[in-house]
């Protein structure tokens, strides 16, 4: 009888071939099912078919030698495969390696992969997988490499992953994972590399990870981790890369951080909230190649020991690191011996002192050198051209002086050059034409002069060019406008450039921002400018451009901001501007525009800011869109406007009567008017025959007004010839109501011609006649050493039969204060000293005090500003322009009626008292405000309309925030440059501080809180007499 064990053994032997056959067919079936779920546009799996029975020869499939027919590896990286990964992949139970990386898979990671207990490598990176990481992966107890990087995985890292005890490499970078790092990861004692880079994880970094003694690379940057860095991480002697950058980590680096990191190559702690000192012990990590501590709150000096390292990259920017003298810069000296240095970033710290010349001796391998945003002085080293590999050079936002060295042009690989916001002077080097690789060139806010080199046209790759706010003169070279590579911006604003915009300005088809404001450009805007179809920001304000605004600007569909204010444009506002559907801000103020406001502008839903003030517009103001928001709309200085929202306080518009009523009204009016006109014609004919006052073809004097009998009468013809026909070459100033010309006029029969200033009132400007009469009335009644003296006047008819009004003054050779504070391109005048400015301030205060308190009747000037302060040959200041003044206590209705519209707001934007804009009464406090703003402008060098004063910041607030401890940071730097010792400097600063205090007190928002002009004059006299006496005694 056969025993039971024998039977069982025989059954097992007979079954073995059958089981092996089943496993082989199972692997083949699993592969075919895997293929069914895929798309294969490249035919990578063309060999996977029934005609090829040996699936071990299929592409990407590797079978076991020990167990033939069993799949041990499936490797299909970068095959262009798409679709989802079939769960049947979990049936390949002998699989040791699965690499499906760099394909186009979607869907989730199959949970069935957790059945692959023999799996050692799982790589499904750089696909588009989503969903969560299966916790079943923790069952893969032999797994050594797990990479699911660069997908769209979500959720938390499963705790179960800590059960994959043999895991050495864990890559989960570039996903959307959330939550914290599971403490169970600390169980992976064999872990060599751990990377959660670029996810949305948060929480603290578990201290248990610092016990992973085999760890060589940890990278958890670009997440939201907070708390402190566990100190024991700096004791992992096997570490080569420590990457905790771009999180929210706080605390400090341990003082001995570098003592136990002998093979550390990269330390990434940048862009956190770390503080304290940079440890000198980091110098012990002698193999370090990348030291990144940028954008934290580290402070103090950079340890000199750091200079003993020789890294490729040193990133210390965006901290509060300091240096004051040569000794503090010592850490950099050693870098001159570091031949592999490629990047040095020290930008945005508190580093001061003189820039060492040995910077030019750095490695010729250095590509990026940045020291921007510090307090570094001195000059750019002449040998900077030795750094031949430089790609990025940043010295912006310092106190560097002197010229830009010519040899900088040797840096022919340079792509980014940032030198803006320094005190660099001289010309733009001719050698800049060698920068053929340049992408961004920024030289703004310096003191560069001369013309723009034509050779900048060689920079054919340039995307951004910023030369704004320098002292550049001459014509803009045509070559600049042919730089079709410009895509970001071209900014030439705030210079003294002249000439016209050429037609080929339209070649800048790709530029997004074009800013040539605040120059001396003339002529028309070329129609071709509308070819710049990508323009988002176009600013040409503050020039002398003329003609009409081109209708073709309406074709600039991408335009968001258009500023053409402060020019001499005429004609109508083109309704085509209403076609720019994305237009947000439109500024057309201070031009000679006429006609009505296009209704279509009110339909622009995007338009949030509109300034059309001080033109000659008339008709009804729309009420829709931006016209319904008083805080975003300015229509001041347009006599003919009516209607609009009630808050504008404009007169109602005339409503035309119906036809029948109109015919009756015309009959009633025209009959008597016709009789009167006929009678006047007959009377004038008789006068012509018998009196001979008017000769055809030749204009004689029709009337005049003479202020002083010792001067003869003056006619229109005499003034015409005195100014060479009111030639533009003799124009020395212009305002709302008229222009001022320089002329040569004989004031008596026995005297030679004298140079005079002739103010000619603009008959086109409504209200100019009233302004003429108001100014005459004031000047007749005042007499003060600091008020402009009138010689005579003329009220006549010009050669075209139009009304002509003019006032003749003594000519002042130093023109207005405004020209000295903000000189134009062709006026290279020196800066006024603080002593001269203080004297001017005292004299103007005296004049206003006289007008307010000693004149009968009292007079409110209403338009105090630098352009209305005239300077004599001995620098005596004279207050001028009384065209909108108000005599207090005496009706001025016959000269300047206030109809209640926007013209009732007297003054100039930036200088006018706030209460005037709210309909408040004219008062002496309004003059105090304007004087205070003028005083602040004199000593800071900044006009109240400066571009920096936006979003609630004003010149008054700018000064008030700095007073008194930070006054030196806001005043015009040129005021303190001449002083050769600290005592004189301190005295000058005290004097300026005192003057600014008066300016702040005068320009307070509430009228009752402002200092009166009497007290302001007393304070300024006291400042000048006491402080300057002390100054000159030294």
HEC readout, 120-181 = CEEECCCCCCCCECCHHHHHCCCCCEEECCCCCCECCCCHHHHHCCCCCEEECCCCCCEECC
Calculate mean pLDDT across residues 807-819.
85
Asked if residue 635 belongs to a domain, the reply is no
- 679-688, 777-786, 843-852: which is most confident: 843-852
CATH code for the domain in which residue 304 is found: 3.80.10.10
Provide the pLDDT for residue 827.
Answer: 61
Average of per-residue pLDDT across 372-394: 94
Q: Bridge-partner residues for 368, per DSSP?
A: 343, 392
Asked whether residue 871 carries a pLDDT value surpassing 70, the answer given is: yes
408-433 tens-digit pLDDT: 999 999 999 999 999 999 999 999 99
Is residue 575 situated within a structural domain? no
121: which strand partners? 97, 145
pLDDT band at 734, cuts 50/70/90?
confident
Nearest to 863 by CA among 880, 888, 887: 880
Residues listed for the chain = 1034
Domain shared by 196 and 173, yes or no: yes
End-of-domain residue from the set 230, 246, 262: 246
Q: Any idea what the CATH number is for the domain that residue 869 is in?
A: 1.10.510.10
User: How far is Cα 850 from Cα 966, in angstroms, rounded to an integer?
Assistant: 34
Tell me which of 204 and 654 has the higher pLDDT. Answer: 204
Residue pointed to by tokens 């929210």: 248
Report d(CA 454, CA 374) in Å as an integer: 32
Same domain for 828 and 729, yes or no, is: no
Tens digit of each residue's pLDDT (9 = 90 or more) over 518-562: 999 999 999 999 999 889 999 999 999 999 999 999 999 999 999
Average pLDDT over residues 588-598: 95
Q: Are 860 and 757 found together in one domain? A: no
Helix (H, G, I), strand (E, B) or coil at 748: coil
Please write down the HEC assignment for all residues of 189-209.
Answer: CCCCEEECCCCEEEEECCHHH
Which range of residues forms the domain containing residue 719? Answer: 698-811
**357 and 412 housed in the same domain:** yes
Burial of 584 (0-12, 13-18, 19+ CB in 10 A): middle
- Total domains in the chain come to 5
- Among 760, 793, 811, residue at a domain's last position: 811
Give residue-wise pLDDT tens across range 200-226: 999 999 999 999 999 999 999 999 999
3-state secondary structure of 904: helix
927 has catalytic annotation: no
* Mean pLDDT of all residues in 311-322: 94
* Whether 933 contacts 943, CB under 8 Å: no
Residue 562: the pLDDT is: 96
Per-residue tokens: 905: 């707001």
Q: Are residues 79 and 223 in the same domain?
A: yes
Answer yes or no: is 545 within a domain: no
Residues 964 and 818 in one domain: yes
Same-domain status, 801 and 920? no
Assess whether 81 and 200 both reside in one domain: yes
- CA–CA distance, 572 with 594 (Å, rounded to integer): 5
Domain match, 77 and 179 both: yes
Q: 573 lies in a domain?
A: no
**22-41: average pLDDT:** 85
- 904 and 958 assigned to the same domain: yes
Q: What are phi and psi of 160, to 5 degrees?
A: -60, -20
E strands in 832-913 = 859-860, 869-871, 877-879, 886-887
| CB-facing half-sphere around the CA of 195: CA atoms within 13 A | 18
Residue 502 domain-assigned (yes or no): no
Q: Is 197 inside any structural domain? A: yes
Structure-block tokens of residue 565: 């204010």
User: Last residue of a domain, which of 665, 693, 721?
Assistant: 693
Confidence of residue 657 (pLDDT cuts 50, 70, 90): low
* Residue 769 shares a structural domain with residue 820: no
Q: Is residue 17 part of a domain?
A: no
Q: What are phi and psi of 240, to 5 degrees?
A: -115, -30
Flag whether pLDDT at 877 surpasses 50: yes
Tokens of 555: 């074709």
Annotated binding site for ATP: 759
The pLDDT of residue 1: 47
pLDDT tens readout for residues 882-931: 655 555 544 333 323 332 333 345 678 889 888 887 777 788 899 999 99
Task: Give the least confident one: 101-115, 790-804, 969-983, 1020-1034.
Answer: 1020-1034
Query: If you average pLDDT over every residue of the chain, what do you get?
Result: 85
- Helical pair 834-853 and 924-940, crossing angle rounded to 10 deg: 180
Please report, for the chain, how many H helices and E strands are present, in that order. Answer: 15, 55
Q: What residues are designated binding site? A: 759
CA distance to 8, 12, 14, 16, 269, per residue, from 3 (Å): 9, 15, 17, 21, 74
3-class SS of residue 757: strand
> Which of 531, 611, 849, 863 is an active site residue?
863
- The predicted pLDDT at position 1028 comes to 52
Task: Please tell me whether residues 807 and 823 are part of one structural domain.
Answer: no
Looking at the domain assignment, is residue 314 inside a domain?
A: yes
């Amino acid at each position: 009888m056969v025993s039971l064990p024998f039977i069982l053994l025989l059954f097992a032997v007979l079954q073995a071939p059958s089981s092996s056959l089943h496993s082989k067919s199972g692997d083949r079936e699993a592969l075919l099912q895997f293929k069914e779920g895929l798309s294969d546009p490249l035919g990578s799996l063309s060999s996977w078919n029934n005609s090829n029975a040996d699936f071990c020869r299929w592409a990407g499939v590797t079978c076991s030698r020990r167990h033939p027919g069993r799949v041990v590896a499936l490797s299909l990286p970068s095959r262009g495969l798409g679709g989802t990964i079939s769960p049947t992949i979990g049936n390949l139970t002998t699989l040791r390696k699965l690499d499906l990386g760099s394909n186009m898979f979607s869907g989730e990671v199959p949970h069935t992969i957790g059945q692959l207990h023999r799996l050692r490598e799982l790589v499904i990176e750089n696909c588009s997988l989503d969903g969560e990481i299966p916790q079943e992966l923790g069952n893969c107890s032999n797994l050594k490499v797990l990479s699911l990087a660069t997908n769209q995985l979500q959720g938390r890292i499963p705790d179960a992953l800590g059960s994959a005890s043999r895991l050495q490499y864990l890559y989960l970078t570039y996903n959307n994972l959330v939550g914290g790092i599971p403490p169970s990861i600390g169980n992976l004692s064999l872990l060599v590399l751990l990377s959660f880079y670029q996810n949305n994880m948060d929480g603290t970094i578990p201290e248990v990870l610092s016990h992973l003694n085999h760890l060589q690379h940890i990278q958890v940057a670009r997440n939201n981790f907070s708390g402190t860095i566990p100190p024991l991480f700096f004791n992992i002697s096997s570490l080569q890369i420590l990457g905790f950058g771009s999180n929210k980590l706080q605390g400090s680096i341990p003082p001995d951080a570098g003592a136990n990191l002998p093979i550390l190559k990269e330390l990434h702690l940048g862009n956190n909230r770390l503080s304290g000192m940079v440890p000198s012990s980091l110098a012990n990590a002698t193999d370090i190649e990348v030291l990144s501590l940028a954008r934290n709150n580290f402070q103090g000096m950079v340890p000199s020991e750091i200079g003993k390292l020789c890294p490729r990259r040193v990133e210390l920017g965006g901290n509060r690191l300091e240096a004051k003298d040569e000794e503090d810069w010592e850490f950099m000296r050693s870098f001159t011996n570091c031949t592999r240095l490629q990047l040095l970033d020290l930008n945005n710290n508190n580093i001061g002192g003189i820039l060492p010349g040995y910077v030019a001796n750095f490695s010729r391998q250095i590509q990026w050198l940045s020291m921007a945003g510090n307090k570094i002085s001195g000059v750019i080293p002449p040998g900077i051209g030795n750094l031949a590999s430089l790609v990025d050079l940043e010295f912006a936002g310092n106190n560097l002086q002197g010229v830009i060295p010519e040899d900088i042009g040797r840096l022919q690989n340079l792509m980014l050059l940032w030198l803006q916001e320094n005190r660099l002077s001289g010309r733009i080097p001719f050698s800049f034409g060698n920068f053929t690789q340049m992408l961004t060139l920024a030289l703004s806010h310096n003191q560069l002069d001369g013309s723009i080199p034509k050779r900048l046209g060689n920079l054919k790759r340039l995307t951004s060019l910023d030369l704004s706010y320098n002292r550049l003169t001459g014509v803009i070279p045509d070559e600049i406008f042919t730089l079709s590579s410009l895509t970001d911006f071209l900014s030439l604003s705030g210079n003294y450039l002249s000439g016209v915009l050429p037609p080929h300005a339209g070649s800048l088809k790709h530029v997004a921002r074009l800013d040539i404001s605040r120059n001396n450009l003339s002529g028309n805007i070329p129609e071709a400018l509308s070819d710049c179809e990508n323009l988002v920001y176009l600013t040409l304000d503050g020039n002398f451009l003329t003609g009409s605004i081109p209708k073709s600007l309406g074709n600039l569909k991408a335009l968001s901001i258009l500023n053409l204010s402060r020019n001499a444009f005429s004609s109508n506002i083109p309704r085509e501007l209403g076609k720019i559907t994305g237009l947000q801000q439109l500024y057309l103020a201070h031009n000679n525009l006429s006609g009505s406001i296009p209704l279509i502008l009110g339909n622009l839903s995007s338009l949030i800011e509109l300034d059309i003030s001080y033109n000659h517009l008339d008709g009804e103001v729309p009420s829709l869109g931006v016209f319904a928001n008083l805080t975003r709309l300015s229509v001041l200085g347009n006599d003919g406007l009516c209607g609009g929202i009630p808050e504008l306080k404009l007169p109602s518009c005339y409503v035309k009567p119906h036809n029948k009523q109109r015919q009756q009204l015309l009959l009633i009016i025209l009959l008597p008017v016709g009789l009167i006109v006929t009678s006047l014609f007959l009377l004038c004919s008789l006068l012509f025959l018998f009196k001979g006052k008017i000769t055809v073809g030749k204009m004689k004097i029709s009337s005049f007004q003479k202020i002083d009998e010792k001067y003869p009468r003056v006619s229109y013809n005499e003034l015409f010839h005195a100014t060479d026909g009111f030639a533009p070459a003799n124009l020395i100033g212009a305002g709302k109501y008229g222009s001022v010309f320089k002329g040569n006029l004989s004031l008596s029969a026995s005297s030679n011609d004298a140079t005079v200033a002739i103010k000619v009132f603009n008959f086109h400007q409504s209200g100019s006649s009233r302004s003429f009469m108001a100014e005459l009335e004031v000047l007749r009644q005042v007499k003060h050493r600091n008020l402009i003296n009138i010689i005579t006047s003329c009220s006549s008819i010009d050669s075209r039969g139009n009304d002509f009004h003019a006032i003749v003054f003594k000519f002042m050779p130093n023109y207005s204060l405004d020209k000295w504070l903000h000189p134009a391109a062709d006026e290279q005048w020196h800066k006024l000293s603080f002593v001269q400015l203080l004297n001017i301030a005292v004299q103007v205060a005296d004049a206003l005090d006289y007008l307010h308190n000693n004149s009968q009747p009292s007079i409110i000037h209403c338009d105090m500003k630098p352009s209305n302060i005239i300077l004599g040959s001995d620098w005596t200041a004279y207050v001028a322009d009384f065209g909108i003044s108000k005599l207090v206590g005496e009706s001025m209705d016959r000269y300047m009626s206030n109809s209640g519209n926007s013209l009732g707001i007297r003054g100039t934007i930036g200088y006018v008292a706030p209460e005037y804009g709210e309909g408040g009464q004219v008062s002496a406090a309004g003059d105090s405000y304007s004087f205070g703003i003028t005083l602040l402008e004199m000593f800071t060098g900044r006009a109240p309309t400066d571009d920096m004063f936006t979003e609630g910041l004003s010149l008054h607030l700018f000064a008030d925030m700095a007073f008194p401890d930070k006054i030196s940071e806001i005043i015009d730097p040129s005021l303190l440059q001449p002083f050769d010792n600290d005592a004189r400097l301190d005295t000058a600063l005290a004097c300026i501080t005192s003057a600014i205090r008066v300016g702040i007190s005068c320009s307070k928002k509430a009228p009752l809180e402002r200092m009166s002009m009497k007290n302001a004059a007393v304070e300024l006299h006291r400042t000048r007499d006491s402080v300057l006496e002390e100054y000159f005694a030294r």
